[in-house]
Amino acid sequence: MTGVRKRSAVAVLAALALALLPAGGVATALPNTTHDQPTTSNNDDKFLELAIDSVAPNAVTTTSDPFIVVAATVSNVGDRVVDDVSVRMQRAPAITQSTQLRTSLQRDQENYDVTGNFVTVADKLNAGQKKQFTLTLPLRSSTAASLEISKPGVYPLLLNVNGAPDFGSEARLDDARFLLPVLGVPTDPTAPPAPPPDPDSTDTEPQPAPGAAVSAPTNTPVATTLLWPLADRPRLAPGQPGSLDQKVKLVDDDLATSLGKGGRLDQLVSALEFALRPNVDRDGKLAQSVCMAVDPDLLITVSNMTRGYLVLADKSDPNGATRDGTGAAAASSWLDRVRTLADTHCTLAVPFAQTDLTGVHLAKNAELSRSATVTPADIVDNILATTSKRNIVWPASGALDDDTATQLRTLGSTVALLPGNGVDTDTEGLPATPDLVRLPDVVAPATTDKADPAMHAATYDVSTAVAMAAVGTDPQTPSFTPARARYDLTQDSRAARLQDALGALSWSALTPVPDRTRSLLIAPPQDWGVDGTEASGVLSQVATLLRSGLAVPRTVDDLVGKQPDPRAFQLVYPQQAVDDASPDTIRTRAAEQATRIDLLSNALVADPNSDLTPGRFTAPLREDLLRAMSMSGRTDDRRDASDAAGHTRVGATTSALDGMFKSVTVLAPGGVYTLASEQSPLLLVARNDLPIGIKVKLQIDAPAAMKITDIGEQQLPPRGSRQIQVPAEVNDSRNLTVDVALTTPDGHALGDATTVSVRSNAYGKVLAIITACAGALLLVLAGRRLWHRFRGQPDPADEGFERQ
């Protein structure tokens, strides 16, 4: 951590005095000094910036060299020359509480009271120039300045840089901090020889020689479990329903780089492959401790990439131009390597796309909830051809509220992985949160089996998780980070943040607690931006703890299968988790579209001759909603991009559903439809442009003169049309207007309604009466004529008519 957070009063006063003086000097090159173009700083009180480049050794052991070497870079970020740039190393007391793993890095340099000597690293540093240097200091020494480290522990170290800016006096201008884990103290080569034994002494215990190596006690090793996340931010372009033959589209081709040689995901797998080799992990202890935590969304994306894929030219336009992706081969190779690891090592699925589980719960949609936490294990098992750990949920946010947890328990989750401050108890004086606790307020509905209806929570150390989250390209500050441990992580170099993580995960092993079983669940963030060096450094540190006896392996099964602490615990849902969650606008829109997906899915018809089932067709749309609520990037400087991506996804899913509902419609006849008789059927044509069959109902709004018979549900073929006969009875010869529409069986509108003009040859009641009367009159007249003829009387109607 840089000293700009806390400066001594001297430095601040010096800076204020300098700010009142005119800037001067021209940047010139110095021997052995690299430099950038001179820049002008708007922050006149910041002159130098110090960054840690490397620390050797990363962790001190009894076989290490008896000194520490720190490589660093000092840069002139001000607008004037700085003379007499000198640096010294300082140390604070060993950390005694877990919280100090983060808070000690914010203390003023006065708390780092063990100091070395100042060493000049540059006589002059012009504006914009930087200088690399190394600083070496003994861990302990009887003849020279040293760090005075004589016993194992985790020690905060600080590099303090002084200098004299133009027109000012010498002052402390910056500093950089990091943690140094000391697993054992090596021999002090400067120690005097041991005195000869006293022949008169009655002490039978051999006394250690002065400066002898000091090992950490291994009588109470810490049971250790390491989660190894394989996840990425959502990459599939939204609004793509399931298909058997179409290529998927990705929002960008960054995943090809990440999966390829030297990429982030490649290095995460490579580091694990190397660490688990039989000739490296000889006793198999690391293999027992590690469990891969895999995002099913990443697996779906990579699996689709292996078959060829397209990349959007503009990620904000899911329906825009595309180009061919370049990562099919890399995806295939990476997926095979992960399958190999999963075949013999612990694997569990994280929530789909690291989605916001509270947001999913608030959607009140059963299928969406199942897709978030139940289906992921099936996806992992199917793609990796393995059997993953079931009923374990690891929220990406590290927090659950009671309602969300209860829903998860109802869906079958029995254990939640949460930070130590994600649960609490009324018991006073509890030294630390137990590794497995019971949540009696979070229970599943009554079951017939003997399983505990209450959810359990396996807890991980907060400070360790926070330190792990800070490692890598995109340092994160998790929602569960205590307020006093929050600061600007970008002020620390990647090397310093890695050192902090190594110190944090070592602290528990180096800090025995009397009469208490110790355990450590190491939980990096799911979307972890580490490179190969950082990933290997973490694995190597855990392996070193296991080999040295400071730690023992503990499998995930052993962790979640033990009896929980007998005390009752409650969930803690911090305000920061509320602030970091997906926006309410995205949650609301996602809930609306989830309901529409269910309506459509319920109407679709499975074809036994086709692999495209209703579930496969609609699943990607439901998954898009989970991706829209992804927690990836929401606790670092990618938050705005995550919000934008979420809105784009929901919008694209909405548009895709609009198009699907409009793809099923009744066709307008294009003219007046004439019924041949009073009871002729009404012939309609319904069309389905979806690649899967669908059940529909006709909604007909006819005038009172037309009686329509309900024909119930009708099935339309995939990408085809069907003529539907609707029994109709018409008692009017006028032109009639009939409104026709299609709906799902649940009554949701499909397509656009159409209007049909109907003409009937039926004459109606009045004309029927007239016809009947005319017929009756004709019979009367005919009868009259016959009557007169039978009687031989002329018919009066024939008067005036002469026979020919």
Is the pLDDT confidence value at 86 over 80?
A: yes
Q: What is the pLDDT of residues 678-736, one digit of tens each?
A: 566 788 899 999 999 999 999 988 887 778 888 899 999 999 999 988 887 777 666 77
Please report the pLDDT score of residue 513 as a whole number. Answer: 74
Q: 427 in a domain, yes or no?
A: no
Q: 654 in a domain, yes or no?
A: yes
Cα–Cα distance measured from residue 72 to residue 177, given in angstroms and rounded to the nearest whole number: 11
% the chain with pLDDT above 70: 87
Chain centre distance of CA 765: 71
CA atoms within 13 A on the CB side of 750: 28
Please report the pLDDT score of residue 124 as a whole number. Answer: 95
Q: 480 in a domain, yes or no?
A: no
Residues 677 and 786 in one domain: no
In terms of residue numbers, what domain contains 86? 9-185
- 395: Cβ contacts below 8 Å, ≥ 6 apart: 351, 357, 416, 417, 418
Chain centre distance of CA 60: 35
Q: 464 in a domain, yes or no?
A: no
With cut-offs at 50, 70 and 90, classify the pLDDT of residue 783: confident
Residues 653 and 673 in one domain: no
Cα–Cα distance measured from residue 506 to residue 464, given in angstroms and rounded to the nearest whole number: 9
Residues 616 and 654 in one domain: yes
Q: Phi and psi of 743, rounded to 5°?
A: -135, 165
Instruction: Identify the domain boundary among 185, 215, 238.
Output: 185
Please report the pLDDT score of residue 41 as a whole number. Answer: 36
Please report the pLDDT score of residue 427 as a whole number. Answer: 77
Count up the domains in the chain and report the number.
4
Cα–Cα distance measured from residue 144 to residue 189, given in angstroms and rounded to the nearest whole number: 12
Tell me, what amino acid is at 726? Answer: V
236 - beta bridge partners?
250
Please report the pLDDT score of residue 445 as a whole number. Answer: 82
In the predicted model, what is the mean pLDDT of the chain? Answer: 88
Angle, helix 614-628 to helix 366-373, in steps of 10 degrees: 80
Is the pLDDT confidence value at 17 over 50?
A: no
21: number of Cβ within 10 Å: 13
Residues 141 and 47 in one domain: yes
Residues 95 and 170 in one domain: yes
Cα–Cα distance measured from residue 660 to residue 691, given in angstroms and rounded to the nearest whole number: 10
Is the pLDDT confidence value at 309 over 70?
A: yes
594 in Cβ contact with 649 (< 8 Å): no
Nearest to 197 by CA among 188, 206, 186: 206
Chain centre distance of CA 507: 28
69 - beta bridge partners?
56, 136
The burial of 46, by beta-carbon neighbours within 10 Å (0-12 exposed, 13-18 middle, 19 or more buried), is given as middle
Please report the pLDDT score of residue 167 as a whole number. Answer: 82
Residues 163 and 25 in one domain: yes
% the chain with pLDDT above 90: 73
Residues 39 and 172 in one domain: yes
Q: 721 in a domain, yes or no?
A: yes
Please report the pLDDT score of residue 42 as a whole number. Answer: 40
List the helix and strand counts (H, then E) for the chain. 20, 36
Residues 27 and 151 in one domain: yes
Residues 111 and 169 in one domain: yes
Please report the pLDDT score of residue 95 as a whole number. Answer: 97
Q: Which of 534-543, 579-588, 753-762 has the lowest mean pLDDT?
A: 753-762
Tell me, what amino acid is at 305? Answer: M
Q: Which of 191-195, 530-534, 579-583, 651-655 has the lowest mean pLDDT?
A: 191-195
Residues 658 and 719 in one domain: no
With cut-offs at 50, 70 and 90, classify the pLDDT of residue 26: very low
Q: 652 in a domain, yes or no?
A: yes
With cut-offs at 50, 70 and 90, classify the pLDDT of residue 30: very low
DSSP state of 548: H
Residues 633 and 716 in one domain: no
Q: What is the pLDDT of residues 553-598, one digit of tens each?
A: 999 999 999 999 999 999 999 999 999 999 999 999 999 999 999 9
Q: 599 in a domain, yes or no?
A: yes
Q: What is the pLDDT of residues 102-124, one digit of tens each?
A: 999 999 989 999 999 999 999 99
CA 587, 595, 401, 434 dihedral sign is: negative
Instruction: Identify the domain boundary among 599, 634, 662.
Output: 662
The angle formed by the CA atoms of residues 18, 19 and 25, to the nearest 5 degrees, is 70
CATH of the domain at 50: 2.60.40.10
What is the Cα Rg of the chain in Å? 39
Instruction: Identify the domain boundary among 662, 690, 719.
Output: 662
Cα–Cα distance measured from residue 704 to residue 676, given in angstroms and rounded to the nearest whole number: 19
Please report the pLDDT score of residue 796 as a whole number. Answer: 64
Nearest to 640 by CA among 583, 575, 585, 576: 583
Q: 345 in a domain, yes or no?
A: no
Please report the pLDDT score of residue 792 as a whole number. Answer: 67
Residues 156 and 88 in one domain: yes
Please report the pLDDT score of residue 762 as a whole number. Answer: 54
Nearest to 211 by CA among 193, 239, 233, 188: 188
Q: Phi and psi of 233, rounded to 5°?
A: -70, 155
**Does 773 or 527 have the greater pLDDT score?**
527
